[in-house]
A and B are shown apart, each in its own frame.
Chain A
Amino acid sequence: MITDGEFSALIAEAAETIPEPTAADAILAAARDEIDPPSVASPIAKVRRHPRGFAISALGAAAVLAILITVAVSSSSSPPGIARRALPPLALGRGAAPAFDETQTMAGVTKVKDTSSASSAASAGSQKIITTGTLSLVVHESALGHVVAELQAIATSLGGYVSTSNVALAGSSRGGTVVLGVPAGEFQKAVSEAESLGTLKHLSTSATDVTGQVADLSAQVSALEAARTQLEALFARAGTIQALLSVQNEITSVQSQIQQLQAQQRVLANEISFSSLTVALAMPSATHGSAPGRFSKAWHQAVSHVEGGLATLLADSGIVLFSVVLLVLIGLLVLFGGRLLWSFVRRRLV
């Protein structure tokens, strides 16, 4: 048994017998070959000493620049939302077909359209889209019954139906919800006709692309039907009672799965062909009851003024301010990105 110290001495002795190295001159010569420009303290200059490091840093900076330019181009092609909000309040035209491409708050009316999953899909004819909408209307209490009847008439006239109606026509909690099912092609028409029945407070529409889901269901049904055909062939050839029962069980199981999937297909097909429009009806008094307090109102006014001020500033400064901010951001990102990359490359290469 020897101690750690003795073991170290043993290995040191072994190392000392290694011949004295003499190749240091070669290293010095190679290092001298590498000395061309004097050392510069900037990170970029440090990176340039090593071609791999420089290449990686350059690629990283180019990637950051490309992303920023892409973002800037897409921003300039679709006007920023804040600029839209700076527009003077618009009167909501009754009966005008809504063309909502963004969230807008105008004269107390909120309109939202969610096309995140179907924005590009809508243009393609083969896409399967489920469209839904929610409409909040304020109607006079005396007109409530009439509005409900009108909503039913709208649905019927467009070839649709009223799927749910839950409206209290009397009492303190008058109001409620009517859900219309209208053919997908008539959805916008139903929205514009329904919003003309009262004072519009909120409108949101949503389009969901379910093309993949439809295709998936179809493929699953096809596969299961093929499996069922094979099982039926096996059933015909089964030689024993046990085999017959076993195959029969399998066929029953597969058949059950097929029916479940086909039910899902029917539901999806109905949702695709008939858009759902939920109309919430409220009394004017109800809206007064939920009106914000003075402090809340003052807060919202202050926020609105700040937004307006920012919008005015942006509108006045125009593209110049935007460009300056963008350039500063690019500069900062390139600087810090380059330093990070340099640090990473340095650690990997050393």
Chain B
Amino acid sequence: MVTDTNPGELEELLQQWYAPAYRTAALLLGDAAKVDDAVQEAFLRLWRFRDALPEGDGLRPWIYRVVVNACYSSARTETRHAGRRAPQDALDAVVSSDPTPDELADQRDRASLVRQAILSLPAGLRAPLVLRYYAGLSEKEIATAIRRRPGTVKSRLHEARRLLANDPRLAHLGLGLSSSGQEEAK
């Protein structure tokens, strides 16, 4: 548990968690400026409530919970601003628009395609997916992180996988459900 006000403790926290937290936020938000803000806000929240951080295995879902909440807050802010600018969904605003065939031809990089596909998922599906397959959290830990029941997490993960499997940008990757995933779906 981080209990000291010494910034050295925060440095340790940042060294261990900043990169995964930042990449998680990047996968959730897409927009670099928003990601910076969200991650900074998340770590400041962690710092303010450092005495309340759980120890051991409980720390990891807690940190991701704070990061996801900060991202949601950032997305909501974007929603309000976007509402003033134009009637456009906030998450659409941080997700690049569907690439044209020409753009698709330019985006040969598989990672870039995967990121775009993830960002095009609904926000409620994106967080469980990223936490499961990038952060490596279990369904139970994800449930803690996003404050949902494990059953909800499971169904959202399945739905996210299904949407990605049907995403034309990723068609060539063969992202159909694995045999275990198909059994879960049944």
Contacts and interface: CB of A to CB of B under 8 A. Distances in A.
A324 interface: no
Q: Interface majority SS on B: helix, strand, loop or mixed?
A: helix
A28 B7 contact: yes
B4 interface: yes
B22 A46 contact: no
B136 A8 contact: yes
Interface string A14-29: 1111101101101110
Contacts of A189: none
Nearest to A30: B44
Q: Interface majority SS on A: helix, strand, loop or mixed?
A: helix
A20 B35 CA distance: 12
B44 A11 contact: no
A155 B72 CA distance: 77
A350 B49 contact: yes
Contact of A21 (B22, B111, B133): B22
A31 B47 contact: yes
B14 interface: yes
Nearest to A7: B133
Given A1-B174, A11-B134, A32 B7 contact: yes
Interface stretch (A33-41, A103-111, A237-245, A252-260): A33-41
Question: For chain A, which range describes its interface: under 10, 10 to 19, 20 to 34, or 35 or more residues?
Answer: 35 or more
A26 B41 CA distance: 11
Interface stretch (B82-90, B91-99, B100-108, B112-120): B112-120
Nearest to B136: A8
A3 interface: yes
Interface string A115-148: 0000000000000000000000000000000000
Contacts of B134: 8, 11-12, 15
Interface in B154-186: 161, 173-181
Interface centre among A11, A20, A32 (most CB of B within 10 A): A11
Interface centre among B3, B19, B23 (most CB of A within 10 A): B23
Given A1-B177, A13-B111, A8 B133 contact: yes
Interface in B106-145: 109-112, 114-115, 118, 129-130, 132-134, 136
Contacts of B51: 39, 41, 46
B66 A350 contact: yes
Contacts of A24: 14, 18
A196 to B, nearest CB: 71
Interface in B34-53: 36, 39-40, 43-49, 51-52
Given A4-B180, A23-B40, A31-B10, A15 B23 contact: yes
A18 B23 contact: yes
A297 interface: no
Given A8-B133, A14-B111, A27 B5 contact: no
A10 B44 CA distance: 31
B19 A20 contact: yes
B114 A4 contact: no
Nearest to A3: B178
Given A4-B181, A23-B36, A31 B44 contact: yes
A27 B10 contact: yes
B141 to A, nearest CB: 15
A104 to B, nearest CB: 54
A49 B44 CA distance: 12
B5 A35 contact: yes
A28 B175 contact: no
A220 B177 CA distance: 65
A27 to B, nearest CB: 5
B27 interface: yes
Interface string A335-350: 0000000000010011
Contact of A14 (B10, B27, B62): B27
A30 B26 contact: no
A8 B14 CA distance: 24
A39 B5 contact: yes
Contacts of B111: 13-14, 16-17
Contacts of A16: 23, 111
Contact of B130 (A11, A13, A46): A11
A50 interface: yes
Given A15-B115, A18-B26, A18-B115, 5 more contacts: A1-B174, A1-B177, A16-B23, A18-B27, A39-B4
17 contacts: A2-B173, A7-B133, A7-B161, A8-B132, A10-B110, A11-B130, A14-B114, A15-B115, A17-B115, A18-B26, A23-B36, A24-B18, A31-B43, A35-B5, A50-B49, A349-B45, A350-B65
10 nearest A-B residue pairs (beta carbon): A21-B22, A14-B114, A14-B111, A17-B111, A15-B23, A11-B133, A1-B176, A8-B133, A3-B178, A18-B26
Interface of A: 1-4, 7-8, 10-18, 20-21, 23-24, 26-28, 30-32, 34-35, 38-39, 41, 46, 49-50, 346, 349-350
